[in-house]
Structure formats: C-alpha cells, structure tokens
Amino acid sequence: MGSIFKISAVVVAAGILITAVCWPTGSLGTGSKAPDFQGIADWINSRPLTMEELRGRVVLVDFWTYTCVNCIRTMPYLKDWHAKYASHGLVIVGVHSPEFEFEKLTENVTENARDFGLEYPIAQDNGFQTWRAYRNRFWPAKYLMDAEGEIRYTHFGEGAYGETERRIRGLLEDAGADLSGVPEGLQAEASRITALASPNRVTRELYGGTKRNRQPGGNYVAQIQYYQGGTRVIEFQDPGSHQNHKFYLQGVWFNDVEAVRHARQTENYEDYIALKFTGTSVNAVISPEKAASFEVQVTLDGRPLDPSEAGADLIAADGRSYFTVNGGRLYQVVALPEYGEHELKLSSNSDDFALFAFTFGANSQGP
C-alpha cells in the first residue's frame, strides 16, 4: 500500500475517539472535481460504476474497511441515508480500502457487508488507487459530490451526522428533488448513543503485528523480547502487573507481520493475551487461517463476564464467557454498562488464534 502510516489521533467528534490513517499529502477539498473509481478489484451490490455516468445524481463516496470500528459506528447513518434518499437521487458508494490482507478477499467483504445490512454499491479498492486519487487520509472518510461531480462537502472520522445529512438534502433539492415528505434525522436507536467518557481517556487501538508495533507510536506489545528479532516463535512470560495502552502475552506465540498468533495447541487455556483497559467496550480483530471454528475464552477482572457485560459476539452462560471465531472480522467482546478501568484476558486452545488488533470505546451503546 505504499508509504502508508498510522497515527492515533485524538479527534473529538460527538465525543468519540477517532483513530485516523494518513497519507503524507492532504485530501481533496471542496471545489475539486471528483476523481473516477480507479483500480477496483471487484464491485459488490452493483455493476461497475463511473463518476461520468453518475452525473445528475448526488454521490456520497465513503472510504471504509470492514474491521474498522469507527467505520462500523457510522453504518446506521449510511443505511438510513440510503433508505431515505436513494429514490430521490442519492448514490452512496462505499470504497472498501482494506487495512489487513484478509480484508482483500471479495467473499469476506461480501459476507460482512451482508451482515452489516449494506445494500448500496461497494467498490473494492484493494490497491488503494481510488484512495490515492482522492488523496484520502482517513478511515472513515466521506466525500459528497453535487450533480455536476464537484466535491461540495467532506467529513473525516465519526460524527457530524446531522450536518452531513443537511448537506445531502441541500444538494438533492438543488438537483430538483422534493424532500418535503422525507424526515430528517435518524430515528433508530443508534441516534441516541452518547459518550460516557472523554475520548482521550479511552485505551488506544492496539495492534498485534510486527509491522505496526515497530512504527512510530507503536510498541503495543509490552514485553521486550517481542522486539528482539523478526517473525519468529517466542515463549512469553506475563509479568502479572499491567500498564494501560499495551497488551501482554503468556505462553508460546508467533510474531507475524500483521498479527500475533498462538503457536501451539493447548488443553487448559494456559496461554493468553492480557491487558488493562479503560472504556466500556472492547473489540478484537481476529482472522483464522483454517476453516475450522474455535472458541476464545474471556475473563474480566479474573472472572467470567455477566450477560449484561457481554458484547454482541460473546456468550456468557453456565459460568463461562467466550466467543466463537468462524472467520476474519471484528468481534464485539465486551460491552459494559458503565465506563471504568478493568483487566481483560483472552485465551484459546487453538493454534489458529491470531490477534490483529484491539479497539476500545466509551459509548452507551455499540462497539
């Protein structure tokens, strides 16, 4: 993907922490002509589209990737806009620019788009050619074009949903649409999400792979032996005392470029990933290499989670809390009713357990 680099930027939008991914140059701004879709590997929910044939329509280009928690949080609004305004001239095109290699697989994008309920066109920008054409810098990023194909509004990261919708409505009305019978604003539950803590108090995004751990601002794995060599198997010892904003390994693990992978089969969950975090929600990006599913056991402060603390993918019953990994995606693990600081452990007996990233939130609802 070229000279891409990751920064953990504290950007306040509706009280939510936004993690931004940047290219060195600035994004295209308002008044620019919208570039065409370039280097698209595949189209989902649509035949191939061009900006030229979309002249006369208002177009919202949304750069996203399906394991990005910030992108996932914007989806209720995108789906609402598609449902309300597609028949009035709005075309949303989700440009999927993948963060991890497994996100390049069309079947993975298709399955996750279906699970998220995304029905608008999706273009797979696996080579980041459309990303570069827009000089884009963020996941998620929105570029709104008028009927003449000129960029009239941009927004990067989460938030500003009301302003974005007002811009959509204004451009549609400029193009002749009658929106008098179309209500403004999202009526769904997601519109009532509130932040429970200042975003700069939430644990930062943590990465498992050597590539991002060695970049400026990395150092996500706490133990020093992780950094004493390249991709290799290491036996780790958890020191027992944990700092926030890092995670700790116990047992035998393989340091890979994009993930840290459990390097042996066990029987009693003796190998684990441990961390201290602040927030309400914890999500884990995991991608197995084998077809067989497996369980990941989870404990919070040394105990199984209660159902009231469980994320959407976690099962909390019969004195256990765990989730089943059955594909490469973001798994919603923890969803606490109140903001706080806690200790978390994830463990699996499978040697196919690979942790790509942790993300955290401090919202009343959602991942």
**pLDDT single digits (tens) 194-223:** 666 666 789 999 999 999 999 999 999 999
For residue 193, name the pLDDT band (cuts at 50, 70, 90).
Answer: low
Q: Are residues 232 and 357 in the same domain?
A: yes
Q: Are residues 168 and 207 in the same domain?
A: no
Q: What does the alpha-carbon distance between residue 87 and residue 80 come to, in Å, rounded to a whole number?
A: 13
Total number of domains constituting the chain? 2
Alpha-carbon torsion angle 36, 39, 42, 45, nearest 10: -10
Helices (H), 154-287: 161-174, 210-213
Amino acid at 1: M
Q: Are residues 235 and 207 in the same domain?
A: yes
List the CATH number of the domain containing 337.
2.60.120.260
Domain span holding position 178: 5-192
pLDDT, tens only, 221-242: 999 999 998 889 999 999 999 9
List the CATH number of the domain containing 108.
3.40.30.10
pLDDT, tens only, 23-61: 334 677 788 999 999 999 999 999 999 999 999 999 999
Which carries the bigger pLDDT value, residue 32 or residue 6? Answer: 32
Predicted pLDDT at 231: 87
Q: Are residues 222 and 181 in the same domain?
A: no
Give the rounded percent of residues in the chain with a pLDDT score beyond 70. 89
Q: Which range, of 16-25, 111-120, 208-217, 285-294, averages the lowest pLDDT?
A: 16-25
301 in a domain, yes or no?
Answer: yes
Q: Are residues 101 and 177 in the same domain?
A: yes
Q: Are residues 209 and 186 in the same domain?
A: no
- Output the CA–CA distances (angstroms, integers) from residue 314 to 258, 306, 331, in the order listed: 24, 10, 8
Mean pLDDT of 173-182: 96
Mean pLDDT of 273-289: 97
Residue 269 has pLDDT above 80, yes or no: yes
Predicted pLDDT at 195: 62
Mean pLDDT of 108-129: 98
Q: Are residues 184 and 238 in the same domain?
A: no
